[in-house]
Amino acid sequence: QVRPVESGGGLVQAGDSLRLSCAASGHTFSIYAVGWFRQAPGKEREFVAAISNSGGSTNYQDSVKGRFIISRDNAKNTVYLQMNSLKPEDTAVYYCAAGWRGVTATPQGYYYWGQGTQVTVSS
């Protein structure tokens, strides 16, 4: 069983950048696709981005295309989410999750979830 652990969240201003990390413990990440999701207060959890186990395929929510970049370093068992040009509407708890269904945008495609890291973007 893999246990994802997120880090890198924080409080930034609009237009700033942050890089989130999702590190695996308990099992290698390299066999899993990994997705990033976020949940803002009072809203449902939504898909942000996903990357295949090899890193050769990615998928993004339309609102983050061109601003966020997902990548992975399987040698380090870590997946990254580089977030640029942050907006107040990006404020949420960000979760990473691992699964076997490729770069799906549906939460049901992921089986192992982290505890989340808070990202707050002030205007």
Q: Could you write out the three-class secondary structure of 34-95? A: EEEEEECCCCCCEEEEEECCCCCCEEECHHHCCCEEEEEEHHHCEEEEEECCCCHHHCEEEE
* pLDDT in the model for residue 16: 98
Closest Cα partner for 22 from 9, 35, 10, 5? 5
pLDDT digits 0-9 by tens, 74-95: 999 999 999 999 999 999 999 9
Per the CB < 8 A criterion, the answer to whether 8 and 115 are in contact is: no
* pLDDT in the model for residue 26: 66
* pLDDT in the model for residue 1: 80
* pLDDT in the model for residue 25: 76
| The pLDDT of residue 63 is above 90 | yes
pLDDT digits 0-9 by tens, 10-62: 999 999 999 999 999 766 788 999 999 999 999 999 999 999 999 999 999 99
* pLDDT in the model for residue 29: 83
